Structure 1
Amino acid sequence: MQQDAVSLKALAAALGAAVAADGREDAEVGDVVIMEPGEALTPVPGALVLAVGTRGATAVTSAAEAGATAVAVRLGTGEDALPDAVRRAAEASGIAVLGIASGTRWEEVAAEARRVREAGGRRPERRGDLFSLAQTVATLSSGVVSIEDNAHRVLAYAGPGDEADELRRQSILGRACPEPYLAMLRESGVYRRTRTPGEVVEVEARPELGLSRRLVIGISAGGRPLGTIWVQEGGRPLAPTTERALRGAARIAAPQLIDLYYEGDPNARLISRSALAHGLLTGRFNSAALARHLGIEASAAAAVVAFDLREQPADGSDVSGQEARRAEAAEIIAVHAAAGRTNALVVQACGQIYAMLPQPEPVGTGRAGADGSDDEPLLRWATEVVATLRRHLKTPVQAVVAGTAARLEDIPAVKLRGYNALQVMARTPERSVDTHRNLRAALVVRDLLRLLEEHDEIRDPALRDLVARDVQQGTRLADSLLRYLDAFGDVAAVAKTLNIHPNTLRYRVRKAAALTGLDLDDPEHRLLAMLQLRLGRATPQESADPFPTAAGDASVSSPP
């Protein structure tokens, strides 16, 4: 896209306009030109023409003849769709038409169109994180979102522009809520109720005023109100989790609005906070000092939950796309985390995402211990977050409840447990969420296999020869023996898995024992065979697999 150009789709969304584009939604809009009544347009290739003073098809035809990409016409009072005559003129002339709501001032439309064009369709950098947060809330709620400061000025917005109601359109175009609506909201006590921390207020639909149903929550810090977050119901009902998403978003928005009030740089503050949180996760700096900066009690315990989107493009061509989805996932996780914990921290590290959830009670006071003995609440929370991520990102996300660090300085060790557990889970994609405690045995086996892999001198040569013999002769003696041992000698079950007769399995097991000299009545012989044959199952291209798999390759399950 050229400098200072924006797609018609982005422009229509920003203006909250009805649109007739007929496949031209991605066309670029360059300049913004105002056409007065009776004015003959000079050539304006690629421009958006604002047809001031006329709504008819004549303006559409004139703009098309001047080479414009699109023309904006005003809708009649009470209309929310373009008139048929205007649509027919657009189809005949091959130009896109935007329908601007009645009552909207043309200078507001021109200013907003130029602002969006100059940003190239991107959100403004200064308030980029508020726009990102608004988009996350819109994603989680299925609604149309706006974030306002205490003077009711719109700071950020997101959601489908064509589903915006009259209030939303006027608020976005005017950059503030219209005074008649403000008076109505004040009289009904909405703003008074938003001053109660954590309270989500419902505003019922008022069709006669062009007002759809919406939910709103106040943003505050230290008892001082800072602003509000609004979610308007659009073409479908709001998601059941909208209230929880609003509570989390309000906590995340508070420090950003504090910076805006004091004319600071919210991006610099958030980058600094992110860097501090990353230092806490990795142990790069003194944890007590970091805790003071992050507003966390130095004596607090902290649970750690690790997430992986499981995106690995074979050719590495979509790195930027991965980074964008990971950033979106981190924002969604942060909203969920902030809804339950005031000082929750979410950090990207090692290609994964980690949620650190500080809790004021020291370990041993009835909550989760350092060994993760009470993982159930975290497991339920992680399961809900993974389901949300799979639904919105369409990737086979997995998560591990790594456990709870007794002290903040123990977080890096718990983080490492989560990292290792996610590596193990990658071999069983049917698992969406698990705990480090459940995976501990698999991790121990993996470490033992690495030890065997690195020290050839402690392996049994006969078992190594058995694996090599299978490769050379195309037999499956080693694999059959391992499956037999894993199944505690259940011949019928293993034979069914391998799709062979039970007598065939018995023959393979006897022959493998004869070739290797194993005494299968000796528990140490059995243990040695189970460990070394698992190592033999791995190919040179993959790490040792601590999990036995069914016949055939396991495939990554599709997200719900």
Structure 2
Amino acid sequence: MQHDPPGGDTLGTPLERIAEALGARLTHSHDEGISDVVIAEPGDALVGMPGVLVLAVGAREEEAPALIAAAGTAGASCVAVRAGADGGLPPAVRDAAAAAGTPVLGVPAGVRWDTVEAEARRELIRGGAGQQGDLYALAQTVATLTHGLVSIEDTAHRVIAYAGPGEEADELRRRSVLGRTCPEPYLAMLRDWGVYQRVRKGDEVVEVAAVPEKDIRRRMVAGINAGARPLGTIWVQEGARPLAPDAEGALRGAARIAGAQLIDHYYRGDPAARLRSREELAHGLLTGRFNTAALAEHLGIPADSGASVVAFDLRDTAARADGTWRDARLAEAAVLVSVHAAAHRRNALVAQACGQIYAMLPEPAGPTGPTGATGSAGPASTTAAAADTAATAAEPALVRWAEHLVAALRQHTRTPVQACVAGTAARLEEIPEVKLRGHRGLGILAAHPERPVGAYSGLVSSMLVRETVELMAARGGVRHPGLTALVAQDAEHGTELARSLRLYLDAFGDVGPVAEILNVHPNTLRYRVRKAAAVAGLDLDDPEHRLAAMLQLRLPARAEESAGPAF
């Protein structure tokens, strides 16, 4: 998965941004966006192509002018052709571009066509609105996860989104993408094999064998369904390398997400209205600003269902410097999380908040559900206890799922992603409280980059200490004057008495490991501890003195300075 340099997607027109990302030359540009990307070969009939970027794959220098003329007549926004050895465009190509009034993108010899298509797709997703851009983003994510070529079709077998390296496409895919529909002879074969009948029955992912004599490679397909109503199909073709081992799960999760998007597209003739409400729905559930009963009705689950929450942070410090770049990275990662979450739990929702990504995994209430042994609400204390028990039982499986997903995110985003399994809410309305656990847990994990995933149960002690220290820093008030003086002395003389004492107390007096961390002799550490205690006036045999030191020495230096000598 490729990425622009930070801030790169904020400059220029869409075509100029594509050219800059590829190191390509553009004859001229215009302000129109890109609505689609189509692969074309010399001799193809090009009609009805407003807003389309045409990739002239395989067109030789002498064939390119005719293809450019045809694309211009069809209203294409741009034609991408292979540049010459010097990186420039031949005069005949430039003349054809000027005559057609169509910009031409000269693709350098070292840039693969699938890279051009991927960059154009990212621009389409970035600038696109509504269902089409979301489906292309989903197709690109599935192509990345499965190592294959993905296409999404409606019930009329029309290709409405696709992604993957075009150079690895077989004859069937090339004809489907160029013609925007699956060829009838192959449709007849699929009907005879019972493929469509099987994918319309539920969640089954059907494998379709290769037909080498017809240049048709192995495929997998899943039905996009809304209950008993078929909405379309999502396909993945095996390319130059075998499909990923978990390709079936990725396809199943993507089919569930695509179903919701296609319903949005057809909902009462207004594709934008319902899509916005769905986004608001997930974010409102996460933050407590949406009616949970209405959400439950929308998802078709009981209103007293519980839900597990897992929080993710990309830990991409470079991206945080640019808001637009950060948002693009988060959106890209959120689609990947959505695919995995939908494969794991049918009604999964994914939302962004606080610069992080949250997966909400609803689970029905019942005899073994989060509301306890009877599934009834009961007293608040009983419900809370039952929820804690359910969360404890579910935690190991959620941790394993989160570890698998973090590994995928790290591989595809190339950032040090971390996740916190926040736990299980007894009811949907309690999700915001569990979300807050996840946010705080990610804050704890930030200090431990070697840990990809942490669970709330294992982080709660650290959270308690951090919250206490934050409260002390915010409110000021009581300070141990000796400890304040100790910190001030270190700042003045460049010594590390306070840090040495804190680490010593954290290690429960075990000198060896702390001396190794500080790179000093154990006797030097013992001397520092004695001196620190003397300067601060502490009795280290007194547990309250030790606790006071452990808390106050965790205060940020600025909080200590602002507190001054107050005590």
Answer with 329-338 or 254-263: which moved more: 254-263
Q: How does 1:23-422 map to 2 (within 5 A)?
A: 32-34=68-70, 63-64=92-93, 66-68=95-97, 126-261=131-266, 264-313=269-318, 316=321, 318-361=322-365, 362-363=369-370, 364-365=372-373, 369-370=387-388, 372-374=391-393, 375-422=395-442
Q: Which residue, out of 438, 442, 446, partners 2:462?
A: 442
Residues 424-444 of structure 1: per-residue CA shift (max 9 Å, x gap): 221222111111111111111
Residues 326-378 of structure 1: per-residue CA shift (max 9 Å, x gap): 11111111111111212111111121111111101332249983363121111
Q: How does 1:486-505 map to 2 (within 5 A)?
A: 486-505=506-525
Residues 1:522 and 2:520 are matched in the alignment: no
Query: Partner of 2:392: helix, strand, or coil?
Result: coil
Distance in 1, matches of 2:279 and 2:194, equals 37
Q: CA 1:219 to 1:69, structure 2 compared with 1: closer, same or farther past 3 Å? A: farther
Matched residue, 1:477: 497
Q: CA 1:29 to 1:376, structure 2 compared with 1: closer, same or farther past 3 Å? A: farther
Find the structure with the greater CA-based Rg. Answer: 1
Assess if the C-alpha contact under 8 Å between 1:16 and 1:161 holds in 2: no
Letter in 1 for 2:387: G
Assess if the C-alpha contact under 8 Å between 2:203 and 2:222 holds in 1: yes
Q: CA 1:47 to 1:262, structure 2 compared with 1: closer, same or farther past 3 Å? A: closer
Q: CA 1:467 to 1:4, structure 2 compared with 1: closer, same or farther past 3 Å? A: closer
Q: CA 1:278 to 1:252, structure 2 compared with 1: closer, same or farther past 3 Å? A: same
Residues 22-75 of structure 1: per-residue CA shift (max 9 Å, x gap): 9xxxxx99994139xxxxxxxxx98679xxxxxxxxxx989447355999xxxx
Assess if the C-alpha contact under 8 Å between 2:130 and 2:271 holds in 1: no
Q: CA 1:366 to 1:388, structure 2 compared with 1: closer, same or farther past 3 Å? A: farther
Assess if the C-alpha contact under 8 Å between 2:334 and 2:350 holds in 1: yes
Query: Partner of 1:358: helix, strand, or coil?
Result: strand
Residues 56-98 of structure 1: per-residue CA shift (max 9 Å, x gap): xxxx989447355999xxxxxxxxxxxxxxxxxxxxx9999xx
Q: Which residue, out of 11, 30, 39, partners 1:3?
A: 30
- Residue 313 of structure 1, CA deviation: 3.3
Distance in 1, matches of 2:458 and 2:359, equals 19
Residues 457-490 of structure 1: per-residue CA shift (max 9 Å, x gap): 3110101100110111121111111111111111
Matched residue, 1:52: none
Letter in 2 for 1:149: D
Assess if the C-alpha contact under 8 Å between 2:149 and 2:164 holds in 1: yes
Matched residue, 2:474: 454
Query: Partner of 2:421: helix, strand, or coil?
Result: strand
Assess if the C-alpha contact under 8 Å between 1:144 and 1:160 holds in 2: yes
Residues 504-535 of structure 1: per-residue CA shift (max 9 Å, x gap): 11111111111222111111111111111122
Letter in 2 for 1:248: G
Gaps of 5+ in 1: 23-27, 36-44, 50-59, 72-92, 101-114, 543-560
Assess if the C-alpha contact under 8 Å between 2:234 and 2:251 holds in 1: yes
Query: Partner of 1:354: helix, strand, or coil?
Result: strand
Query: Partner of 2:434: helix, strand, or coil?
Result: helix
- Residue 257 of structure 1, CA deviation: 2.5
Assess if the C-alpha contact under 8 Å between 2:39 and 2:55 holds in 1: yes
Residues 147-190 of structure 1: per-residue CA shift (max 9 Å, x gap): 11111111111111111111011111111111111122222222
Q: CA 1:366 to 1:169, structure 2 compared with 1: closer, same or farther past 3 Å? A: farther
Query: Partner of 1:451: helix, strand, or coil?
Result: helix
Q: CA 1:503 to 1:61, structure 2 compared with 1: closer, same or farther past 3 Å? A: closer
Q: CA 1:485 to 1:30, structure 2 compared with 1: closer, same or farther past 3 Å? A: farther
Assess if the C-alpha contact under 8 Å between 2:418 and 2:451 holds in 1: yes
- Taking structure 1 as the reference length, what is the TM-score of the superposition? 0.77
- Residue 294 of structure 1, CA deviation: 3.6
Distance in 1, matches of 2:326 and 2:351, equals 16
Query: Partner of 2:234: helix, strand, or coil?
Result: strand
Assess if the C-alpha contact under 8 Å between 1:15 and 1:172 holds in 2: no
Gaps of 5+ in 2: 1-14, 16-28, 41-52, 72-76, 82-88, 101-105, 114-119, 376-385, 562-567
Q: CA 1:315 to 1:381, structure 2 compared with 1: closer, same or farther past 3 Å? A: closer
Query: Partner of 2:477: helix, strand, or coil?
Result: helix
Identity of matched residues, %: 58
Q: Which residue, out of 436, 458, 467, partners 2:487?
A: 467
Assess if the C-alpha contact under 8 Å between 1:248 and 1:336 holds in 2: yes
- Residue 314 of structure 1, CA deviation: 8.1
Assess if the C-alpha contact under 8 Å between 2:217 and 2:238 holds in 1: yes
Matched residue, 1:112: none
Assess if the C-alpha contact under 8 Å between 1:200 and 1:216 holds in 2: yes
Q: CA 1:196 to 1:171, structure 2 compared with 1: closer, same or farther past 3 Å? A: same
Q: CA 1:529 to 1:399, structure 2 compared with 1: closer, same or farther past 3 Å? A: same
- Residue 321 of structure 1, CA deviation: 1.7
Q: CA 1:455 to 1:131, structure 2 compared with 1: closer, same or farther past 3 Å? A: closer
Matched residue, 2:527: 507
